[in-house]
Structure 1
């Protein structure tokens, strides 16, 4: 498990309804961070249905708190990573976020 936090962006660069991508500094896992009405959530940037980046054209719907994979239309809840419709049945990994020193931070906290 990584204890090292990865800087995503300045807080002013991630406004409500926006998302940003980064790579964990230790594990090199791609991560998407979402600002949903001022709350920050982070998910692995990979559809659980197929090895495809959710941020690769994926639509973040701030009204419903979901992201849709453009490859086959699977949707995930950005708050907890759960799959909301077929063809995805497994959730995507959720990661912690924090705001510190004017920046947004995340990390891959899996064992």
Structure 2
């Protein structure tokens, strides 16, 4: 499959996750404080909670429900209670379009 338009770059507020669904996969898109755009699986592996409702700090996204923080770069949980990683997707910026391939994950 190929990359799909997830949103406009101008829609992304810094450190504020945006939930998108591509090919039935919920994805949290984040523009971090360094203006880097990340895309990770939007479902916390601990409690089936949307990570896009969580909090961004640096290169981490914290689940609001139980406090597990996930690396935006690797998808790995950085603390308990989550111990399984979330998928990380490649992001391409084309003008004002944020493109993500929901079928291809980045190897951590």
Calculate the TM-score normalised by the size of structure 1: 0.81
Superposed displacement of residue 17, structure 1: 2.5
2:27 matched residue in structure 1:
31
Equivalent of 1:60 in 34, 38, 56: 56
Which is richer in strand? 2
**Misfit runs of 4+, over 4 Å:** none
Structure 2 residue runs of 5 or longer lacking an equivalent are none
Structure 1, unaligned runs of 5 or more: none
SS in 1 for 2:92: strand
Match in the other structure for 1:95: 89
Contact 1:8–1:20 (CA under 8 A) maintained in structure 2? no
SS of the equivalent of 1:73 reads coil
CA positional deviation for 1:15: 4.2
Shift of 1:107: 2.1
SS at match of 1:12: helix
Q: Tell me the alpha carbon deviations over residues 14-54 of structure 1, each in whole angstroms, 9 at most, x when there is no partner.
A: 24333322111x3x100011112121111000111122211
Distance 1:30 1:41 in 2: 14
